[in-house]
Amino acid sequence: MEIEAVFSPSGLATAAELSAVLSRKQLAGLVKAGRLIRVFRGVYAASEPDLVGKLAALDLFVGQPVVACMGTAAALYGFDAENTLPLHVLDPGVRLRPSVGLMVHQRVGAPLRRVQGRLATAPAWTAIEIARALRRPRALATLDAALHVGACTAAELRATIAEHKGRRGIVKVRKLINHTDCLAESPMESEARLVFIDGGLPVPELQYSIVDRYGRCWRVDFAWPDALVAAEYDSVEWHVGRDALLHDRLKTVRLQECGWTTIPMTVDDIHGDPVGLVARINAQLLRRRLVG
């Protein structure tokens, strides 16, 4: 029997299954050479498994299907703003010790939903659970992300908040829910918006479209249309390279031709100098009002 025949369609096999074609020494040698991957004790993969594959491997290790929660559930739904690395699962009721790559949670009665063929805590419940444990900016990023991908509605988030009354961190989340916006496209956009809110700036329009004099449509992250002021988050990853640089320069010029003032901001502005960022934007808003 060939080794490949032992692996399931998910690319997983147990040590007992592999013992039919490999000795323990041969198995150890293949793992050491990187030809097989030990996912959990006694569970191996033919290649590096994705999130669903890791959960399937954990099923084999535990001996029953596990339920994803927290960041792992958020990743399955598509709104893991924290880029969670360890697997987060509900306590399956059998001995399962937390480890570097595994977190086990006690959440009796958590509502469940099936996603990508697996059971996970319901999206609104997941978002609120994560947000309760995070700082305000990151909590808002998670709530925005859940709305942005359509995993749940604002009404569902509010209902879940009501169910969590009295739990740690829920007051913070209850206040943040009034500032959520499904148009936020990245965690840093959410964080920037909270800086604007805390700084007392007028609420901007998100993902605002501006048509230049040549008929080309440009979209800006934040806009105050009455003042013709826009703010753009510049991430290093997105704006690196010749093409990106030329695109940004052309965008700035075209918007200036239409009378717009564009204020760039980076993660250093948002995290390191929020007061200065608010002051820069506010100065442009006030200038426009005086000119007008």
Instruction: Provide the pLDDT for residue 236.
Output: 59
Q: Which residues of 69-95 are buried (b: 16+ CB within 10 A; e: fewer)?
A: bbbbbbbbbebbbbebeebbbbebeee
Instruction: Provide the pLDDT for residue 38.
Output: 95
> Distance of CA 207 to CAs 2, 230, 247, Å?
54, 10, 17
Instruction: Provide the pLDDT for residue 159.
Output: 97
Q: Taking the CB of residue 188, how many other CB atoms lie within 10 A of it?
A: 21
pTM above 0.85, yes or no: yes
Instruction: Provide the pLDDT for residue 242.
Output: 66
Q: What is d(CA 132, CA 177) in angstroms, rounded to the nearest whole number?
A: 12
Q: Which residue type does 27 have?
A: L
**pLDDT digit string (tens) for 9-65?**
889 999 999 998 999 999 999 999 999 999 999 999 999 999 999 999 999 999 999
Instruction: Provide the pLDDT for residue 235.
Output: 72
Q: How many residues are there in the chain?
A: 292
Query: Are residues 157 and 124 in contact, defined by beta-carbon separation less than 8 angstroms?
Result: yes
Torsion of CA 160, 162, 166, 167, to 10 degrees: 10
Can you give the pLDDT of all 292 residues of the chain as single tens digits?
578 888 888 899 999 999 989 999 999 999 999 999 999 999 999 999 999 999 999 999 999 999 999 999 999 999 999 999 999 999 998 888 888 899 999 988 899 999 999 999 999 999 999 999 999 999 999 999 999 999 999 999 999 999 999 999 999 999 999 999 999 999 999 999 999 999 999 999 999 999 999 999 999 999 999 999 999 998 755 555 667 777 788 999 999 999 999 999 999 999 999 999 999 999 999 987 776 5
> Which domains does the chain possess?
3-49 (no CATH), 64-182 (no CATH), 205-291 (3.40.960.10)
> Distance of CA 235 to CAs 24, 199, 239, 264, Å?
49, 22, 6, 10
Q: Can you say whether the dihedral through the CA atoms of 234, 237, 239, 244 is positive or negative?
A: negative
Q: Taking the CB of residue 174, how many other CB atoms lie within 10 A of it?
A: 15
Instruction: Provide the pLDDT for residue 99.
Output: 87
Instruction: Provide the pLDDT for residue 97.
Output: 85
Alpha helices in 63-214 (DSSP H): 70-77, 123-132, 136-148, 154-163, 170-176, 187-198
What are 146's two structure tokens? Answer: 């859940």
Instruction: Provide the pLDDT for residue 290.
Output: 72
Instruction: Provide the pLDDT for residue 238.
Output: 53
Instruction: Provide the pLDDT for residue 110.
Output: 94
Beta bridge partners of 12: 45
What are 194's two structure tokens? Answer: 């909270």
Instruction: Provide the pLDDT for residue 4.
Output: 81
Whole-number CA gyration radius for the chain: 24
Q: Which DSSP helix (H) or strand (E) runs through 210?
A: strand 205-211
